[in-house]
Structure 1
């Protein structure tokens, strides 16, 4: 019979991702194919494309189960990007606006860059602020045309199978759903981002960490709540590489983060609680604690973080780490927040009951993490 902490550790092992290398290589093949045909389709995209950059659960090594979902920024770098004037959006903490007056003027006078000017002149307001929706529509047209022109199939990395690609536009992301002949499925969210350096331009409320050498941040075209006027100009501050650094090497932080995500995934209404909301709680808590705090047992840390989550849900606010005056829950109505709180409270109560017993029913505990349908590993069956 397992005790509570032993069961928690084995559950974390159960939900840890498998077959990482195969999925990663196939992801690389699909990503490279899409970017190559987009560059072949549109000369402006070819000129400003500055490479891929992972973000989300896979980058942070907190992905659970199969590594079949990837989030990747495709970075965009305009000529004379250092002359882009970045303006803080006063009505929307955590968001900025991009003023292209100077870069456009310089591109217009350069014969080798006039084609970029002609394209981006269509994407700005009369006052030369970049419109996020125009960028997104342009990219959507490029992807659609590229797949139609060059085909929607690509060999897997090993050359033994082939993926069929289906393109879907979902909010901020350009999603590719890839299905191989043998039935393997991979979903990739491609999100455009303009890259900047925090040494020169930083518009978040929290200072950029001094110990981070590569001070990169991205401006991501993202819709938001707030006054209607100016909403079409919103770009979200995004700092994935630095966030990865902040939560790495913190002992049992990542295991408990994975466990909390697994709890979220088994809830019918869990999709309202985005992974970034959960990660934000850990970023905020990590800021308050020293490294020794994360050396506590995974079960104890999980209960602690669940209490933090319930506190934020009760207050109907999860602060954005970089701009705490921004409420990540603002996009959810009050009823959804209440439902989430009730669901997480029930799980918390059950976990407390398990923690107070000398031995636990491992199968029952697994159900709380949404893995009841998976077969037990033989070593667990014997126990």
Structure 2
């Protein structure tokens, strides 16, 4: 295998080789998608059977993340699912700070709604997450033999309990333990475009709904508020990426670079934000080759990490890097600077070696 690292491509050929290696056949995707849908429905049905209150509140699942945007790399084995939730009352979004809102309720008809002296009733983020946590924990024994097509059956493990944002569950196939599918279930409250808080800087794109997602403040632990929800508008963001295939391919390359160079602190939404902001400001011509777009976007990412400031697309006054430690930031600046310099040199010399593809993107030449 190592001898193939001596292989040499033009810069464009090398990029195309990586993109091909990051893709999987449609039939592989189809089996994962089919199993995932059965598993998702089984989880939700179990929760609805256990808790009549959840059965009333549940209003459907909505796919989010890389799958929705068409920028998934590797196996289609991770699914971000927004669990649409309604309480037995009317909710009004109230701006809290850039990117965040509170949800004011018109009455206390649910245990997830709490009274705040002098301010009224609000949805309590911690109570919502505790409610989901209790339900998922209670139904786990019923999720140990989920039968799917072609004789596959899965058992579920509850791995992250909603103390951050998501309730993560890992499905493992009984006969082939290497076949696993991960699900992030996130409770969300759904709003129409005309309900967008007018004092937030961004405004709705198109006639698509948006979500309030439970999330604490990371940059100011002393200022925590159990009412905090972050803005989320996956369908608006999808419109920004729509019909820009070279942009999407470039973003897939950036995700591969992130993975190969062990920068897990830069989550996928951080990388996506680099592209959303650039597209919104019309800074890049998206019909360029993916490799050339990648270099431009890597420079933007390096700049953002160096300054420790990556504006949230939906609320530019909020910094998406609020969870990044100073140690991580300094290490990532070093790594990103090295990658950017190497990509520029290879582009100018118009070649990429097999060793380059492995070191930069984690892709072996076969």
Q: Please confirm whether the aligned pair reaches a TM-score higher than 0.5, indicating the same fold.
A: yes
2-structure distance, mates of 1:85, 1:213: 19
Which of 188, 195, 202 in structure 2 is aligned with 1:206?
202
Runs of 4+ in 1 over 4 A off after TM superposition: 123-126
RMSD: 1.8
1-structure distance, mates of 2:58, 2:330: 43
Deviation at 1:246, TM superposition (A): 1.0
2-structure distance, mates of 1:78, 1:359: 58
Which of 74, 95, 99 in structure 2 is aligned with 1:94?
99
Aligned to 2:227: 233
Aligned to 1:337: 329
Decide whether the 8 Å contact of 2:95 with 2:197 is kept in 1.
no
Q: TM-score, normalised by structure 1?
A: 0.86
Q: Are residues 1:311 and 2:303 paired?
A: yes
2-structure distance, mates of 1:201, 1:312: 27
Aligned to 2:165: 172
Deviation at 1:347, TM superposition (A): 1.3
SS in structure 2 opposite 1:191?
strand
1-structure distance, mates of 2:357, 2:202: 39
Decide whether the 8 Å contact of 2:241 with 2:248 is kept in 1.
yes
Alignment CA distance shift 1:277-1:172 (3 Å) = same
Aligned to 1:144: 137
1-structure distance, mates of 2:273, 2:301: 10
Q: Are residues 1:370 and 2:362 paired?
A: yes
Aligned to 1:347: 339
Q: TM-score, normalised by structure 2?
A: 0.90
1-structure distance, mates of 2:241, 2:98: 23
2-structure distance, mates of 1:258, 1:151: 33
Deviation at 1:20, TM superposition (A): 1.2
Aligned to 1:71: 80
Q: Are residues 1:29 and 2:3 paired?
A: no
Q: Which runs of 5+ in 1 are unaligned?
A: 105-116, 377-383
Decide whether the 8 Å contact of 2:65 with 2:80 is kept in 1.
yes
Decide whether the 8 Å contact of 1:86 with 1:98 is kept in 2.
yes
2-structure distance, mates of 1:239, 1:167: 27
Q: Is the strand fraction higher in 1 or 2?
A: 2
2-structure distance, mates of 1:326, 1:360: 38
Aligned to 1:288: 281
Q: Which range is displaced more, 359-368 or 45-54?
A: 359-368
Aligned to 1:61: 70
Aligned to 2:4: none
SS in structure 2 opposite 1:271?
coil
Cα deviation 1:14-58 (Å, max 9, x = unaligned): 112442111111110110000000000111110010100011111
2-structure distance, mates of 1:176, 1:227: 27
Aligned to 1:134: 127
Decide whether the 8 Å contact of 1:11 with 1:366 is kept in 2.
no
Deviation at 1:231, TM superposition (A): 2.0
Aligned to 1:51: 60
2-structure distance, mates of 1:331, 1:22: 35
2-structure distance, mates of 1:131, 1:228: 18
| Number of matched pairs | 349
